[in-house]
Structure 1
Amino acid sequence: MKFERNADAIYITINCICVTVGLIGGIMANLNLVTVEDLQQLKIELIEEIRKSRKQEESKMESKQWLRSSEVRHLLKISPGTLQNLRIKGTLPHDKIGGIFYYAYSDVAGLLERIGNR
């Protein structure tokens, strides 16, 4: 199996076992067979690729001192309404500059830690 990744997608090439089968009337057909082991290996490799991709995204976020709303929602896996509630309740400190909300990465990480310790 081979993986190729670009900004939008991961492409997977699976090598199959090809079997030539004789059919009635002398017509030949090729069948591609994928074994259970092939699928299990694909699953393992996909999970690893997803983990690598998530770690890269998280390391990009960690290097930033300030995050925008969309980045915070992505990290916390929350909706815009939930983020608004966190702002209103004062649970997540923020600054608003020119109509855009900014959040300190340290505050977001602290919130994640507090939520995880419940």
Structure 2
Amino acid sequence: MNENRKLLTRLPDEVRPQYRDQLVTIGDLAAFRHDLLKELYQLLQSNRRPGEKEWLKSKEAAKLLGLSNNTLLNLRKKGILPFIRVGGQVFYNYLDIQNALNDLMSKTGKS
């Protein structure tokens, strides 16, 4: 029995049980935001190939960024993500998406 307790204390943090009274701090959220933006930026850099579409429809942009359509709409409404509307269809420029991510990364003060 004492052996089991020793094993539990040696487990890495990601394997240890989580309890609902554990708090997430503002610093934790800021670090998560930074890591998420950095991963999105790297994903965009690695997925960009010559000959890819320059303009993406909303559904394509959301899929590329791993966001829901509502989150994409909120980024558009807040002016974070530039877009154009042709008829009833909304398009996002691939380079504008990259630039928006760069701006968000620079505002966090990290790279």
- What band does the TM-score fall into relative to the shorter chain? 0.3 to 0.5
Greater helix percent: which structure? 2
Greater strand percent: which structure? 1
Larger radius of gyration: 1
Larger RCO (CA within 8 A; separation ≥ 6): 2
